[in-house]
Structure formats: structure tokens, C-alpha cells
Structure 1
Amino acid sequence: MKIFLKYCTYIIVVFFGLLFSYAAFSKAMDFKDFQVELAQSPLLSAYAGVISYVVIILELLVVGLLCFNRTRILGLYASFGLMVAFTVYIYLILNYSDFVPCSCGGILEKMSWDEHFIFNGVCVFFALITGIFMGKKRAHGWSRIAAAALIAVFSAGSMVALFLSSEYIMKKENNFTRRFPHHPIMEDRTYDLKVNSYYFAGISGNTIYLGNPSTPFRILRMDYSLQKVDTLDLAPATNHRFSNITYTVQNGMLYAHDGAVPVIYSSPVDSLAKPLREISSKDIYFDQLAAVSPQQFLLRVKDAESERTSIGCLTVGKPAVVKIHSTSLTTKADGGFDADGELVYDKETGIPFYLFYYRNQILKFNKDGLLKGQMKTIDTVVEASLKVLTLPDGRKKLAEPPLLVNRNMTVHSGLIFNESGLMGRHESRTQWKKNAVVDIYTTSPAGYWGSMYVQHRGKHRLSRMLVTDTYFFVLSGDEIVRYRFAQTLTEQFIKRGSRKPF
């Protein structure tokens, strides 16, 4: 019996030696990929750089301890501690993670996460039993069990502490490390629009509306299936020297607006055959509009004297009521370049947001245009990097292309979708050449959720986004592409009336 136990012990020691040797060397051989995998972990993303080195060093240290008789017991206890940490990590992934990533590589790459959990649990058991058995000549049974318990508590506690700390850093104090949940979207349909100049005007019911500046009095209407497509001709009820008439569709209403005139029209989407009714004219100049209600609009306006850009509120009627709040979008009198960005409105939660192109700031307003809060994107660009040239006639222009932090944005049911212009830590340059990267932020509580790749269509990249409860629509070149959301993402949407955004 003693000989049998001796051989079993020897086999287990060799097993752990080979297991950790293979694990360490496979990680070291593909170190960059290993760091990227850790960066995508929903639990350890914030510490990917440090942990990538620590794990390999610990695994090699355990192998060294197992190689010598005098340190073998210590090596088995160290094996036990590492396997406890790995097992707790998998348990947290399966039960407390926002999403379950792909299985890790190496010898265990064919296993599912549940199979990994069972395999690690078996390894924990054998490391514990073998360590206690080998140490029986050197210590009493209670002391060996107490030592194993302390090791287990330390390993499990360390992993839980890393998880909690990493989650806080990723969602609140991100160091620009992205994580990519497993397949958050799946492409399932496309439609050829023939031209590449369309933009999303909005949705009403299960119908998408697209405008085109090349045909300013004609819009495209299609259902979510992208199979039923109609072209609608629109006619404003009054005549103006239009500069850039744009359409916004929301809650069953279509709004046509041109802030350079300035004028706003409206019509129910089921009455577009009739002339569009003028509801505002010469009330306030603007360059962006968000429809808060059929009578109230938030506008991006510019004060020519101060050269600062602000959010204004227009309530249509006789007389119209205009309010321009003192809170400015720009921190510099630079011609408004610092304030470049997009005004977006979440109709499900009733919250307007403003996202900047050249800095990592997101502003939240109420329906009257008063600033109520702010959050940040995960990049580290706090201040816009701009070089502004003043021409002899007083006009200002950019002397060189600015650092584009955020490309375009949309919001739906408490989630902000932001196409980023910057590569994060531990990311593949090859993937950046093939895909656009869309970062997703929650607003209740405010924080970073994850990112997703949106593949380029040949030479064309994502140009516009539109989000519904089920689908993610993209304009890319002359195509509209429909992606279906995974459940891990749709579970993050705020249901109407259930929570208040930050």
C-alpha cells in the first residue's frame, strides 16, 4: 500500500510539473496573445499587464519547487493555491461576470468553462490530498489542514479582491483597456442602397427612415427586415432658401429642420403625403437638433460674439420661447472647434447627451437643456488637441487635422454606443485595420460595459449607427447592414421607467 501511494504521489507531482511547465511556456511563446486574452477578461482586464508576468513567474516557480525533494511539499501547496485561484476565477466568470469570454487557449482550449471548472476542482483535490499525505511526517494533521485552509482563503480572497478592484477600475477609472465580450452582435442581413450618402433619420414603430442630402426632399422608408422599401417625396408647406435640410424621426413624428434658415417643420409619419407643417421660423439659429417633444427641442447654438457653443431650448408656439443656458460646451474661444461633437437623445429614458469628438467627455442634460451630470469615455484625452489658425478676415480654421477621439455616437435605452478613434492597450493593430471599434457605456450606473468590432465592408468603414431593442443597424459605404444583439448586451438596456440614468 505504501508503495502504491508513493507511486501515486510521484505521478501527481509529475502531472503538476508538466501542467505548469506547459502552461508557462505556452503563455511565454505567445505572450502578446496572452496579454490580449487577459485584457478581454471581464474580471482581470485592468491588471492584464501585471498579471501576465506574475502568472508565468508563479507557474515556473511552482515547477522549480516540484523538481526537488526538499521543496516538493511546498510546491504541492503552491500548486494547490494556484489551482484554487484559477477555480475561483472560473466560478466568478460563470456567476458574476457581465459576459462569458471565449475559453482559454493551450492544452485546455477544447474545454468549456464548466468543464474547466470541474477539471480545476479535481486538480485542487489531488494537490490538497497529496500535499497533506507527503507532509504527514513533518507536521501534525491539524496543522497541515490549517495551512491548506489558510492557503485556500488567501488564494480565493486574492482573486475576489482582484475582481472587485478590476471591475471598479474598468467601469469607473479605466486605464484605457478595452474588453470585448464574446460575439455581442451577429450579422444577419444587408441591403444595397446604391449610393453612400444616406444617414439615419430615425425609427418609428418597426420602420427605419433614412435621409440623403443629395435628395433633400426625398426620404427612404424600410422595415426592420430590410425587404420592404419605399421612397417618399416630401414637400414643405412654406418656401425658404434652404441650406441643409435634415430629417429627424421620433415617436411617430417626422421633423424637417434647417438651422441656417432657421426653420423647423413637423408631420406625423403616417401623413407624409401632405405638406410638412411649419412650426418654427426665424426663432433661433442652430446646427444640431434633438426633439424632446413635438413642441420642445434642444439645439446646439453658437454665440458669434463669444465664439462659444452652447445648448439651447426652443419651445414652439406663439410666441416661441427660447432659452440659452450659460453652461458652454467649449472651454476656449477657438471658433467652436473644441465643442465639436453630437447631440443625441434617448427617447426611452428621456435623457439628452452630448458627446465630444476631440475629448473624453459625455454631458447629460435635462429636457430643458440644463446640465445635470457628466461621465467620460475610457480614453485618456481630457483636453482637445487643436491647432487653430486665425485668417486675416478674422475667420478661424484648423491648421492641421485634430486628434479624433470619438467618431460617431448613438444612444438607446440607457446604453451609449460610441465609435472610438483611438486604439487601447493590448489591442491588435491588425484588427483595427479590419474593423471599427464601438465602445458601449451604461448610464445606470454610469460606466464602461465593453466594446465590439464592426467589420469594414471592403474599403468602407462604419459611417452611421442606429440601435433598437433587438438590432444594431449600420451604414457602411452604400450598404445598410443589420446585426442581431446577443442577450448579454440586450440585458443591459434600461426598460422604460425601471431605472434613472446617472
Structure 2
Amino acid sequence: MKRSSILVSIISYFFVLLFVYAAISKILEFENFQVQIAQSPLLTAFAGFTSYSVIFAEFIIALFLLVPKLRLAGLYSSLGIMTAFTAYIYIILNYSDFIPCSCGGILEKMSWSEHLLFNIMCILISLTAVIISEKQKRTGIFTYTLYAGICILASCFLVIILFVQSERIIKKENNFTRKFLPNYLIIKEKRVLDHDHYYFAGKDNQGVYLGSRSTPLILTKTDYKLKGIAPIKITTDQSNHPFKNLRITVKEPYYYLYDGTVPIIYRGRLNNHYASTISKGDAFFSQLSVIDSMNFIIRTQDSRTHEYEIARLDLNENNKVILFPSILEKQIDGIFDCDGSLVENTQRRDEFMYTYFYRNQLITMSGNLRKIKRQTTIDPTSRAQINITTLSNGTHMMEAPPLRVNLHTALYGNHAYNVSSLPGKYEPTRTRKGRKAVDIYRIDRNEYTGSFYLPEQKINDIMVTEHGLYILSGKQLIRYQFRKPLQGEAENLTSE
């Protein structure tokens, strides 16, 4: 047997193993696989059909590859399906706000970027086998190049059609109109960071602090003009805990290192790398904001109902945790429908805000949680548009990608800056061009002020200070300055 034939056989058996393994993995965890498909922004509307057809296609392609007379068709099919998978991952990584789970089995251990590289290698391998097989049949180069090109383009086109259709279904045009503030932002400085896992931890009178999800024991400081970076390696008095979500927040003169899954809170001075334990086992929580050195606002779960609640954690009291069950209003399950972000006012030390992810409401709270003010955003989504399913093991999961209304919120003084994920009325695609809108609200007047577009970029986190708007975008830290003074009235955006 010729070496080229042996190579084609090896490649064919490789894909047989890959597709059979992937299909069996999906069958063994079919319920979970189907939910993951339903979570995908590209496939939500087609979850039922896709969950069965992908498994069927993988088995059929594997069968084709095992039969010599059908092997060439199997190789073309391998090329097509791997191209489709690659296009799917590329769109998820670059054009989707919602990244679903992976596909199961050993491939689930890969990151999305690693999975993309693996798929590209598979495309090149299958294309190599196609070319060798066609040459053995003495097929003209124009013919098999045409066949391969059609196969690749058709696969990409199919995925793009699914994406467009899904986007249309999930993100319908909303019936609200924004008032855009002309030329509201002026970019001042940019700084390239070493990775894209940073989030804003807080500020003091000298600069901004960043925490990192990948290096949680390092607190990074930069001055307000982003001229210098100073990392601080934190050491703790107790470190032998099963940390799952170690985070940092800064409230001058201290920083706080915490993990609500342990649960534990450390405190250290900003000029000292050493942090000592101030709370251990007092309350499990998923979010935390600092009132003062011994008082905190937390988002926790009621031990009886398992629903999210806002609570106050006072380390000076014997009864350290006080729940305020009326703050978060339950609509569906009390967990997913109440999900959101807890932020503090970066100008006022005793004011906080909770923003729902999936409905149009901002909740302003005083530090003692006695003064609560609710404000609706201009988006009309007053009820969370989510579907919850319960797996056979009792786990609750979202059955489909939720309609994400609010992405990030920053609170400074009387103004809330809310990054919205949905387009308003009279905002055509050619105008948005992938950009996100920031809607400004006056919390003291309970009114909408206006909006502005951010440049096209990824938005990981935002913060507003007296020095402007700070954005973490991938590996970039960017400072924008607001135009001052604001003259004239905001105007409806109809064109640019």
C-alpha cells in the first residue's frame, strides 16, 4: 500500500475516533448537552433539532470513513462539519455577548481559544486527506479545489445564517428611544495590561486599583492618568482554604480580600502587603461591598428558600447577619431572575446600587439598607425573560440564553452609568457597528439624562471617578474624559 493511502487511512481513523467519542459523550450526558445547545446564542431556536442531528451526523460521517467506497465523501463531510464547528466558535468568541458551555467529554477541558486551534488543525488535516484522495483518483485540481471551496463556504454560510436568525429571535428591536449626548466622550489615555482578567477593585485619592481573577493575591494600582503600574503581592494569615472565587475590593484606607464560598474576609492596609482574617464562617455570600472596616453589604442566599437576598454583615454584633428580603423582588425562581451586580458609589461612601441583569430596574441603597429607592431604566423589559429547567440530579439551569438587559453599572454621585446590551429605537445596525450604549440616570431625580456610545470594543468592567470614565477592554485600560460643561439638550440619534 502506498504511503499516501496509509496516511489517508490514518486520518480517516482519527476522525472516526473523534466523532464516535464525541457522539457517545453527548449521548451519555444528553440532557446536559441539550441544555447547553439551548444556551448557545447561535442555536437557541433550533436546540431540539440540533441536539439530535449533530449526534446523528457524527455517527454517519464515522460510518462513511470506515467504508472505502464512501471514504472520500466522509472526508468532505469531515471538512464541512469541522469548518462549521470552527465558524461557530469564532462567532461565539468575537460576536456574542453570551458564551455557553463547551461540548462535553475531553474537549470540555479545553478553553474556547484552544478548541478553535484544535478545530483549525482538524480542517487542515481533513483537507490534506481530501487532496491526497482526489489525486489518487486523478481528479483535476480545479475540480477538487472547487468541491472543497464549496464545502467550506457552505458550512460557514450555514453557521452565519443560524447566527443571524438567532440574533433576530433573541434580540428583537425594542420600543424605546435614547437621547444621545453629542461628542460626550474624549479619550485621554490607554494602557496595555499583561492579561485580560482584570476587574476594578476600587480607588483612593491617588489612583485606581485592579484585581485579577487569574492572580487573585495581586492588587494592582495605577495613577488616574495611567502613567504607572504598581503590583502589590498580598500575603494572608490563613491560606489553607478551598478558595473558589477569591476577589479584592478597596475602600480607603483598607483593601479587603474575600471569598464567599469559604466564607472568609481578610483586611489589610493599602500601604501593607499583609492581610489578616476579620471574618470566617459568618455568612456565605456571592457579592460584597464595603460600608466601613467592620460592616458590609452582601448578596447571599436564604437558607430556607435558597433565594438571593441582600443582607448586612456587621462584625461588631453578636447577630452578625441581617437579611432584607424585600429589597430583591422575586419573579420566577428568586435566583436567576434576581441576578445582578452590586456596586458602590465612588463619590459617596455610604451609598450602593444593585442592578438586575435581566430586567429594567436599578436599586439604590443606603449603607444601613433602610433607605431603598427603585428606578426603572428606559428599556421596557420589566420581567426577566428567562426559562429555567431542572435536571434529573436537581440542578437548576437556564434552558436558553437569557435576554441580558444590563451589562455593567457604575455609580458616581447622583449619576448611574448603565451599559445596556440592547439597541433602542432609531439605532440602525450601521450606526451601532457593534458598539455598546451607556445610559445615564439621575438617581436623585429618578430620571433618564441621556446616552452615549462607546467606541467598538469589548467591555469587561467600568468605573467612574472625578477623573472620568475608566474601562477595562480586553488587555487595555482606557480613560475617557466627559465633556464639560454639558451644553444644550440631548438629541435623538437618527444618523451619524
> What is the TM-score normalised by the length of structure 1?
0.60
Aligned-partner SS, 2:432: helix
Alpha-carbon distance between aligned partners in 1 of 2:420 and 2:214, rounded to the nearest angstrom: 27
Alpha-carbon distance between aligned partners in 2 of 1:491 and 1:443, rounded to the nearest angstrom: 21
2:196 matched residue in structure 1: 196
Alignment of 1:336-375 (within 5 A): 336-349=335-348, 350-370=350-370, 372-375=372-375
Alpha-carbon distance between aligned partners in 2 of 1:364 and 1:306, rounded to the nearest angstrom: 24
Alpha-carbon distance change, 437 to 198 in structure 1, aligned in 2, over 3 angstroms: same
Aligned-partner SS, 1:177: coil
1:247 paired to 2:244: no
2:429 matched residue in structure 1: 429
Contact 1:306 1:333 (C-alpha < 8 Å) held by counterparts: no
Contact 1:469 1:490 (C-alpha < 8 Å) held by counterparts: no
Matched letter for residue 449 of structure 2: W
1:268 paired to 2:269: yes
Shift of 1:407: 0.7
1:288 matched residue in structure 2: 287
Alpha-carbon distance between aligned partners in 2 of 1:198 and 1:232, rounded to the nearest angstrom: 14
Aligned-partner SS, 2:262: coil
Contact 2:346 2:465 (C-alpha < 8 Å) held by counterparts: no
Matched letter for residue 262 of structure 2: V
Alpha-carbon distance between aligned partners in 1 of 2:308 and 2:485, rounded to the nearest angstrom: 38
1:484 paired to 2:481: yes
Per-residue Cα deviation, 1:197-220 (whole angstroms, up to 9, x for no partner): 111111111211111111111121
Matched letter for residue 478 of structure 2: V
The runs of 5 or more residues in structure 1 that have no matched partner are 1-173, 493-502
Shift of 1:369: 2.4
1:28 matched residue in structure 2: none
Alpha-carbon distance between aligned partners in 2 of 1:406 and 1:453, rounded to the nearest angstrom: 15
2:443 matched residue in structure 1: 443
1:325 paired to 2:324: yes
Say which one has the larger Rg: 1
1:409 paired to 2:406: no
Aligned-partner SS, 1:338: helix
Alpha-carbon distance between aligned partners in 1 of 2:486 and 2:242, rounded to the nearest angstrom: 45
Alignment of 1:223-262 (within 5 A): 223-239=223-239, 240-262=241-263
Alpha-carbon distance change, 438 to 362 in structure 1, aligned in 2, over 3 angstroms: same
Matched letter for residue 324 of structure 2: H
Alpha-carbon distance between aligned partners in 1 of 2:319 and 2:333, rounded to the nearest angstrom: 31
Alpha-carbon distance between aligned partners in 1 of 2:195 and 2:486, rounded to the nearest angstrom: 31
Alignment of 1:75-90 (within 5 A): none
Contact 2:224 2:467 (C-alpha < 8 Å) held by counterparts: no
Alpha-carbon distance change, 475 to 347 in structure 1, aligned in 2, over 3 angstroms: closer
Aligned-partner SS, 1:455: coil
Per-residue Cα deviation, 1:348-380 (whole angstroms, up to 9, x for no partner): 332221110100011122212235221101010
> What is the TM-score normalised by the length of structure 2?
0.60
Alpha-carbon distance between aligned partners in 2 of 1:303 and 1:333, rounded to the nearest angstrom: 16
Shift of 1:444: 1.7
Alpha-carbon distance between aligned partners in 1 of 2:221 and 2:409, rounded to the nearest angstrom: 22
Flag as ranges the 4+ runs of structure 1 deviating above 6 A.
none
Aligned-partner SS, 1:449: strand
Alpha-carbon distance between aligned partners in 2 of 1:371 and 1:357, rounded to the nearest angstrom: 22
Shift of 1:429: 1.4
The count of aligned residue pairs is: 314
More off after superposition, 471-480 vs 339-348? 339-348
2:311 matched residue in structure 1: 312
Alpha-carbon distance between aligned partners in 2 of 1:216 and 1:347, rounded to the nearest angstrom: 22
Shift of 1:463: 1.6
Alpha-carbon distance change, 296 to 288 in structure 1, aligned in 2, over 3 angstroms: same
Alpha-carbon distance between aligned partners in 1 of 2:270 and 2:377, rounded to the nearest angstrom: 35
Alpha-carbon distance between aligned partners in 2 of 1:402 and 1:488, rounded to the nearest angstrom: 39
Alpha-carbon distance change, 261 to 435 in structure 1, aligned in 2, over 3 angstroms: same
Contact 1:454 1:462 (C-alpha < 8 Å) held by counterparts: no
Contact 1:193 1:479 (C-alpha < 8 Å) held by counterparts: yes
Matched letter for residue 476 of structure 1: S
Aligned-partner SS, 2:325: strand
Shift of 1:347: 4.5
Shift of 1:456: 2.2
Matched letter for residue 231 of structure 1: P
1:376 matched residue in structure 2: 376
1:465 paired to 2:462: yes
Alpha-carbon distance change, 304 to 276 in structure 1, aligned in 2, over 3 angstroms: same
Aligned-partner SS, 2:368: coil
1:211 paired to 2:196: no
